[in-house]
């Protein structure tokens, strides 16, 4: 979900920041996939793919409902900071583990987690978010079959189209968490000089935007799957994601908006075209 502030004139910096963030994410997942493509990956083995797909789809939808209920009930800052930090630490660790020896990977993940927890600056926060999102996207892409990823992406995009709008559950909870100082996503500054601003100052500026971590992770799962077949396939899906990111960036800081809808379209449509032409 993309949320923050009131409608403002469009500026180039937020749009460039949106596009650059997704370009960096795509590069991160593509490099990791191409580096480890010959290694055995974790997959759903032993059950028919159709059954696994619907099991995962049901699990994710049920999980989203449970998390929504919990988030509406428990809004303690420390608990949600801990939950977000642990989840992103695991994402950073998984990404580092794909490329580095295990001990070094854990050290890198721990160091980055500690850095973002002590140096409360927008740039450090965003680096941590991007690294964690890349690792989580790769983990999901390696673990789930294509059909499950697409169904989950479409299902959550439909959910976000209602819950991510003004007055929706996601919009209200995100605003509540941000108000308490928990930033579960990317801070998009309105100006270049705000990129190093303290987190609490950066997110409260009227020209800043916020992009939820789920909006970063889910499109990258399809980029990751496409990258298994080759860099050109990954680029095709990436172009679709970047077009959606550019459109979101042109909106500038605005009222809460379901960002996953255009991002899902931007990633799923190119991926399905690749499937149709048997390129993935």
Determine what percent of the chain falls in helix, strand and coil, rounding each to the nearest 5. 75, 5, 20
pLDDT in tens, 254-277: 667 889 999 999 999 999 999 999
pLDDT higher than threshold 70 for residue 141: yes
Contact 254, 14 (CB under 8 A): no
d(CA 160, CA 185): 15
What pLDDT, on the 0 to 100 scale, is given for residue 107?
Answer: 92
pLDDT in tens, 10-44: 568 889 999 999 999 999 999 999 998 866 544 43
pLDDT in tens, 175-202: 777 777 788 899 999 888 889 999 988 8
Contact 137, 87 (CB under 8 A): no
- What residue ranges do the domains of the chain occupy? 2-34+50-276
pLDDT in tens, 197-231: 999 888 888 888 889 899 999 999 999 999 999 99
Q: Give the residues across from 187 on adjacent strands.
A: 210
d(CA 248, CA 268): 17
What pLDDT, on the 0 to 100 scale, is given for residue 41?
Answer: 46
Contact 131, 110 (CB under 8 A): no
Query: Residues with Cβ < 8 Å from 175, sequence gap 6 or more?
Result: 3, 256
Identify the CA nearest to 249 among candidates 21, 17, 15.
15
What pLDDT, on the 0 to 100 scale, is given for residue 243?
Answer: 96
DSSP state of 44: -
Q: Give the residues across from 210 on adjacent strands.
A: 3, 187
Give me Rg for the CA atoms of the chain: 18
In the block, which residue shows the tokens 């004139």? 9
Contact 137, 145 (CB under 8 A): no
What pLDDT, on the 0 to 100 scale, is given for residue 36?
Answer: 87
């Amino acid at each position: 979900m993309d949320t923050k502030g009131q409608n403002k004139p469009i500026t180039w910096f937020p749009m460039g920041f949106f596009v650059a963030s997704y370009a960096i994410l795509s590069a991160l997942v593509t490099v990791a996939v191409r580096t480890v493509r010959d290694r055995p990956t974790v997959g759903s083995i032993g059950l028919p793919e159709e059954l696994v797909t619907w099991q995962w789809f049901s699990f994710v939808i049920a999980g989203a409902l449970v998390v929504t209920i919990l988030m509406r009930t428990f809004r303690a800052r420390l608990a949600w900071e801990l939950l977000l930090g642990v989840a992103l630490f695991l994402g950073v660790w998984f990404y580092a583990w794909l490329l580095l020896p295990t001990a070094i990977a854990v050290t890198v993940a721990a160091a980055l987690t500690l850095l973002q927890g002590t140096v409360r600056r927008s740039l450090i926060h965003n680096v941590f978010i991007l690294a964690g999102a890349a690792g989580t996207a790769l983990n999901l892409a390696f673990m789930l079959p294509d059909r499950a990823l697409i169904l989950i992406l479409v299902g959550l995009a439909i959910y976000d189209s209602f819950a991510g709008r003004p007055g929706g559950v996601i919009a209200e909870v995100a605003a509540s968490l941000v108000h308490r100082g928990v930033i579960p996503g990317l801070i998009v500054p309105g100006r270049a000089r705000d990129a190093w601003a303290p987190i609490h100052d950066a997110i409260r500026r009227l020209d800043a935007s916020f992009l939820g971590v789920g909006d970063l992770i889910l499109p990258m799962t399809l980029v990751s799957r496409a990258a298994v077949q080759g860099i050109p396939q990954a680029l095709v899906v990436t172009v679709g994601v970047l077009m959606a990111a550019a459109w979101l960036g042109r909106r500038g800081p605005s009222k809460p908006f379901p960002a996953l809808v255009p991002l899902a379209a931007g990633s799923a449509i190119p991926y399905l075209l690749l499937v149709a032409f048997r390129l993935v």
